[in-house]
Amino acid sequence: MASILADISASAVKRAQNADPNMQRCLIENCSTSMAVQLAHVYDREEAAMKSLEWSWGLIHGCLNLDTRRNIFFVGASLYEMYKRRRWSLVPEEQVVRQFFYEGGRRPRKRRDFPNLQSQTFKYKFLPIRNMEDICITRQSEDKSVTIHEYPFPDFPTITSHIHPSFVLLHLASALSCIDRNQHDTLVKQYPWLNKIIELHTSWFARLPDNADQNLTFWPSHQAQSSSTSQPTSDDDISRTPPHRIPVLTTQPSNQQIVQGLDVERPNTSPSSMRAAPRIPQAYPSCGQKRELCEVIQDLRPNKRRRLLTSTDLKRHHEDYQRSNALKMQILIDNLQRCLIENCSTSKAVQLGHFYDREEAARDHRMESLEWIWGLVQGSLNLDTRRNIFFVGASLYEMYKRRNWSLVPEENVVRQFFYDGGTRPRTRRDFPKFQSLTFKYTSLAIKDMEDVYISRQSEDNTVAIYEHPFSGFPP
C-alpha cells in the first residue's frame, strides 16, 4: 500500500529557497527558474524504514523530517525524472564520506558516534549511473554562455549545494543497486570508495535492536518526546526545520498494485484519427502483458449488434485499417519517440504530452462545442487520439502546459480553416478534413522565454544551442 504524505509546507519551501546557494537555479544545468525548474527531494519522501534511519543516524524516534531544506534541491523537470529513475546521482567528496566510517574505513559508524556535519554547503560531482550514453547536458555559466557536456561528462564542474551528504548517499546507494556488476566495477574504478556505499546503506537500514524502545536517546519519555516531535504549526520558524515525521494523510494501493489486480486489456482505437472511442467514461484496464508497438489489441468492450459487410464495405474497412497502420508507423519512423523540440532520445525523460489538454477541455462543456464545430458526432471526440499526442522532454512539456511556448502550423494549412478571403472561420457543414500523415510546424515563444535556451540534437548527434527569440530554429 502506498502512503499519501502531506504536501510540502510553504515554510519548508521558504527554508529551501533561503538555504540554496544557487538562487533556485537548476543544480545541474544552472539555468533559470523559467526552464521548468522545480522543487525536488534528494531522498524521496516515504514512510518505510524511517525508524531504521532515525536509529542509525542518532536521532529521536519520530523526528526525521524528509522535508528538511537539507533534503530539498532545485532541478529541471527532465533531469529530475532521470534522477528518480536512478539514471544519475551525486557523489560527495571522499573526505566527507570517510567520516561515516570508523578509522580505516572498515565499517560504518554506529548510532552512538554518528558524524555531525555542520557545514552549510557541500561539494558534489555529477555521476552518470545508467542509460546516459546518448545524453548531453547543457550548463549555463555566470556570463550566460552555455557549455554542452557529453557522456561520460568528464569535465562537468563541481557542484556546490546546501543538501546534506546523508540524503545524497541514500540516493547514491539506491542508484548503485540498480546496475549490474560490470557497470558497478566501472564506477568503482573512477571512485574506489564507492565500493563501501552499499555497505553503508545496509547498515543504515538494518533492523532495530530488540531493546531500542528502552533507549531514552531514541525513545524518550512521553513528555520529552511530545515536545521534541510536535507537529508543525502555521507559524513555524522558517529558518529551522521542525523535527517531526511528515503526516500521513491516507493509504491507498500503489499504481503497481492496481495494475496487478486488473485482468483485461485496453480496447483498440478506431482507424479514424478523431472518431476513436466515444467519450463516455469507461475503465478498460490492462493486464500488464508486454506487447510490441502497433500490435493489434482485441477489443473487449461489450459486443455491439453487427451487420453483414458487403464487398465494398470490406474493401473500405481494409483501406481504413491500412491507412491507420501507415499513420502509426509513419509517426514512429519520423521521430522514433524522440523529443519533438530537442530531438533528444527517450533516455532524456521524453514523455507523452497532449497538444490540447484533456482537463482543460473537460471544463465549461468545451468538448461539445468542438464536436459541433468540427463536424463530429456528439460524444465521439477522443483527446487521447494519436493526433493529439506527441513526445517531448519533461521540462519543455512543463513550459508548454504553462503556455510559455506553442507550435504554429504552416499558413496554407491555417487558411483552410477559413472561407475564401479569410473573412470568417468555416462552420460545421464544411469543416476542413486533412488526409496528410504529417504536418510542419514552427516553434513559437509566447511568454517568459527571454532567459531560456533550447538545445537541439542533429542526426549526426551534434548539438546546437538556440536562444530567445530562437531564430533559425528548424521547423
| Segment 150-169, tens digit of pLDDT | 999 999 999 999 999 999 99
**Residue 73 CA from chain centroid, whole number:** 15
Q: Which residues pair with 127 in a beta bridge?
A: 89
Residue pair 53/205 in contact (Cβ under 8 Å)? The answer is yes
- Residue written as cell 519548508? 12
Q: Indicate the range of 1-10, 43-52, 267-276, 445-454 predicted with least confidence.
A: 267-276
The secondary structure of residue 269, as a DSSP letter, is P
Its pTM stands at 0.76
| E strand or H helix at 224 | helix 222-228
Reply yes or no: is the peptide bond before residue 21 cis, omega within 30 of 0: no
Q: What is the pLDDT of residue 392?
A: 95
Summarize the confidence of residues 359-368 as an average pLDDT: 76
DSSP notation for 86-119: TSEEEEE-HHHHHTTB-GGGSSB--GGG------
Q: What is the pLDDT of residue 239?
A: 45
Residue pair 135/346 in contact (Cβ under 8 Å)? The answer is no
d(CA 225, CA 69): 23
* 113-156 pLDDT tens trace: 999 998 999 999 999 999 999 999 999 998 889 999 999 999 99
**Residue 275 CA from chain centroid, whole number:** 31
Q: What is the largest CA-CA distance in the chain?
A: 86
* 201-251 pLDDT tens trace: 999 999 999 999 999 999 987 545 554 444 443 333 434 566 666 555 444
Q: How many CB atoms lie within 10 A of CB 229?
A: 19
Beta-sheet pairing, 72-76 with 159-161: unpaired
Phi and psi torsions of 110, nearest 5°:
-90, 180
Q: Which residues contact 235 (CB under 8 A, 6 or more apart)?
A: none
Summarize the confidence of residues 332-344 as an average pLDDT: 77
The three-state secondary structure class of 456 is strand
d(CA 278, CA 269): 10
